[in-house]
Amino acid sequence: MSWYYAENNERRGPVEDAAFQSLVAAGTIKPDTLVWREGFAAWTPYSSVPATVVPASSSPASAAGIASSSAVACSQCGRLFPADDTVTYEGRHICAECKPLFFQKIKEGALTTGQLEYAGFWIRFGAKFLDNIIVGIASQVVGLVIGATLPRNEVAPFLALFGGICINAAYVIFFLSKYGATPGKMACKLKVINADGSPLTPGKAVARYFAEILSKLTLFIGYIMVAFDETEKRALHDRICETRVVRLPDR
């Protein structure tokens, strides 16, 4: 797995595990150095990287030169504190200074630094099913309006079809760019993000909408790919646009 790290406010990488260990040993990567790899919600100080994903022989504690086993790193700011001076939440330590903001994020349902939980095939299928119901109802209403206001001729069905396509496009693009999730995904507590954990821009939302058409044109194989991606549960349109669908933590 490739790593990226920040140096002089510039992104460096990718580097593999062995090279990453060498950078830690040389002191290039320090406890407060921001690092990122696939699966992280955001760039995070090296000292707060979960021990399960740190390359062997280069743990944050050894890099910091901490002699006391009671010293822990705050998962939010990366600074070291005595364990008794922090609170623990789902295996993460939070210092007193970061505590108010951290729990405010939890309350708002925001993603916090750490490993992401990727949404699997069936939960995404359920979210898509709900979205299709909502869009279908809206399209039916538009079709009825067109049928009631325009003369009955061969053009009316095409106008109704075009209206349904526009509704679906506007629905997906608006909600993904504004909230990072359509109402169906919101109901299932899912969110679409970029590979580095950042929210989608309007341009990325548009690109993802059109990329998803390819998942449909491949006899829905693009969607089924989610079930066979054991690491990040990516559909074809996720791979094209470098997006991920993650599950939000329970409030």
Cis ω on the peptide bond leading into residue 60 (within 30° of 0)?
Answer: no
**Is 70 within 8 Å of 82 (Cβ atoms)?**
yes
pLDDT digits (tens, 9 = 90+) for 42-59: 788 887 776 656 665 444
Percentage of residues in the chain with pLDDT exceeding 90?
37
Q: Could you tell me the pLDDT band of residue 68, with boundaries at 50, 70 and 90?
A: very low
Q: How far is residue 108's CA from residue 198's CA, in Å, rounded to a whole number?
A: 17
Q: Do 240 and 211 meet the contact criterion of CB atoms below 8 Å apart?
A: yes
Q: Give the chain's mean pLDDT.
A: 81
pLDDT at position 164 over 90: no
Say how far apart CA 175 and CA 185 lie, in whole Å: 10
**Residue 171: which pLDDT band, with cuts at 50, 70 and 90?**
very high
Report the percent of the chain where pLDDT is more than 70: 80
pLDDT per position as a tens digit, 182-239: 999 999 999 999 887 778 999 999 999 999 999 999 999 999 999 999 888 999 999 9
For the entire predicted model, the pTM comes to 0.57
Residue 72 CB neighbours (<10 A): 24
